[in-house]
Amino acid sequence: MIQSRPAWSSLDDDAVRISRALAMDAVQKVGNGHPGTAMSLAPVAYTLFQRVLKHDPINPNWIARDRFILSCGHSSLTLYIQLFLSGYGVELSDLQNFRTFNAATPGHPEYGHTVGVETTTGPLGQGVANAVGMAMAARYEKGLLDPDNKTDIFDHNIWVICSDGDLQEGVSAEASSLAGLQELGNLKVIYDDNRISIEGDTHVAFNENVSDRYRSYGWHVIEVDTQSNGDVDREKLESAMDQALTEKIKPVLIRLHSVIAWPAPKAQGTAESHGSALGAQEVAATKRVLGLNPDESFAVSEAIIEHTRKVKVRGAGAYHAWDAKFKQWQIDNPIQNALLERISKKKLPKDWAATFPQFSTEKDIATRAASGLVIQEIAKALPEFWGGSADLAGSNNTTIAGGGSFLPATSSMKDANPYGRVIHFGIREHAMGAILNGIALHGMAKPYAGTFLVFSDYMRGAVRLSALMKLPVTYVWSHDSIGLGEDGPTHQPVEHLAALRAIPGLSIVRPADANEVSIAWREIITRALPVGLALSRQNLPVVDRKKYNSAEGVAKGAYVLFDTSPEFSVILIATGSEVYLALQAQDQLLSSGVNSRVVSAPCLEWFTEQSPDYQESVLPKTVKARVSIEAGVAMPWYKIIGDAGVAVALEHFGASADAKRLFREYGFTPENIVACAMESIKKTQLKD
């Protein structure tokens, strides 16, 4: 149902004019930025925030609010100005400090930095894909809280403004294709088709029929042309928004034709207005066209502030009406309400990990298989835990047994369930990562998804944003080394562990055996931060914990697995499938009279978080003879092993052969580890 709205007034016209002027002023003051799109989109964003969005600036985290994503994050002023006018806490001084250090108005919107920003955008296409994730999350969470559809209190929409650049990026195409299949009727995208990017007219690289493309995806498409003077046809746009609100099955694309930097006399329609200040003369000339004083900057009358802040009154009214219904729902649905309260407070159930499997030494098991067994137990304990795979569920072991396929009610596919726990992302790794981010951002789910580690390259942009936003997203990356065997070098990750460890805020966990997997998953869920799990395809021995130290050490990132003597002369540090090789090498060293320590280091990031005392207890500075053992490039290890250390590593691509042959050919053998240990000991002696 579309709510009645106040009539559009002259004050609304004034607010749009001021929005355009503020966009020019903010960029002109700092000397850089993107004024053109913010100018032309001023009536679009204003109409959304003042007339269409269900939101309450006083309660910005209201669970039933509509979400708004500015996918074209370079036009951040489009959002900041509306947050200012609506009363979200962005002040005029923040607009004056646009793009300066520690300002509430950074160059691109940053999640967690500015109230009202739902996701970090700027890398084009990501916001569109985040929105798909949010729309999917809204449906899944509806299934958790209102599976019989008895109320509308959890229903809301995801609104997006995107640009030509967003729709050129492949990630948006991947996500939009999936959105159509999923029949995400709660997703509404406004595409600003202004035909301008940094290199000029977009038709030098992008002239497809976007409307037909989106119709082929299964979207409802609405076209809105400009007025004869080049300005956005605001009335037709609002009508299109209302039409979008009535569409409940298909996602909606409103294709809005616009003129960038309208109504600047010289700059409108130009590539220069996309990413450069207009210049003082053009700003003044544009203000004259708008009927504003060209000698004033950042001029906003009290009358406009008073008028636009009335959205707070309307928002509060909508919130309180909702809250009354919500309180009754709480009474009528105590089980679902208890779940909502727990999830909202980011709490875990008591003893939630008590049923995690403990693995015996009787049978070798691949860490990907062990992970699959742990996932089943997490799913039993945490209904908010859900995910899938990029068409590799059988290989990644990511399917929740009996969870049903997350598909629309109209789907004829097997196990289809609109609230299913198994997401079929298709072969869309980049979109998968961005969708996971959107699910996590929506606020009530713990998402995960899998593919092969080598294909983390395809999703790196989204993974980086997971880390930047500190989202509770888990990437299950199996087939973690040359140990995958005959598929050969195209599928064998070599540089990937090092490259992923280079992302600040992302933890990479490479467990040595099945029991390390259990502890790793427990820690991942507890920490609620972005993690990549690197898991083996091949079966690995289960470390005998009666002989060696407990896998509980995984929680600290690295731990002492075994010392052959309190006085040891070399430390062997290994991850994943190479840990057992280190233990075999330790036995050989002992038989030669050399005492050693073996350290399992599944997560270097978690280890660096530990106290200096703990780090010293694991890697004492007095023992400089060290060997790192990992089937990948050695780059991350040199700061750990030092100048006397030796890295058993892989500095080239693999080959197509069975895993045992490859490990032998490339030096991942106990014998070579022993030789490297002796070399490192010799180095320390020479230095002494």
Annotated catalytic sites, by residue? Answer: 429
CA distance 227 to 334: 53
Q: What tokens does 330 get?
A: 């709480």
Spatial CA neighbour of 66 closest among 408, 315, 342, 327: 315
Asked if residue 516 lies in contact with residue 533, where contact means CB atoms within 8 angstroms, the answer is no
- Contact in structure between 406 and 400 (CB atoms under 8 Å): no
DSSP-based three-state secondary structure for 391: coil
Which one, of 460, 604, 557, 575, lies nearest residue 510 by Cα? 575
Rounded to whole angstroms, the Cα distance separating 214 from 219 reads: 5
Compute CA distances 349 → 113, 343, 510, whole Å.
Answer: 30, 10, 27
Report how far residue 148's alpha carbon sits from residue 152's, in angstroms, rounded to the nearest whole number. Answer: 11
Half-sphere exposure for 397 (CA within 13 Å, toward CB): 20
Closest CA to 654 of 452, 528, 484, 525: 484
Distance of CA 445 to the CA centre of its chain: 13
Contacts of 102 (CB under 8 A, 6+ apart): none
- Pairing state of beta strands 416-417 and 446-452? unpaired
CA 62 to chain centre: 21
Instruction: Compute the CA torsion angle 410, 412, 413, 415 (nearest 10 deg).
Output: 70
Quick one: the chain helix, strand, coil %, rounded to 5? 45, 15, 40
Residues 295 and 308: their CA atoms lie apart, in Å, by 24
Q: With H, G, I as helix, E, B as strand and everything else as coil, classify residue 118.
A: coil
Residue 555: phi and psi, rounded to 5, are -60, -20
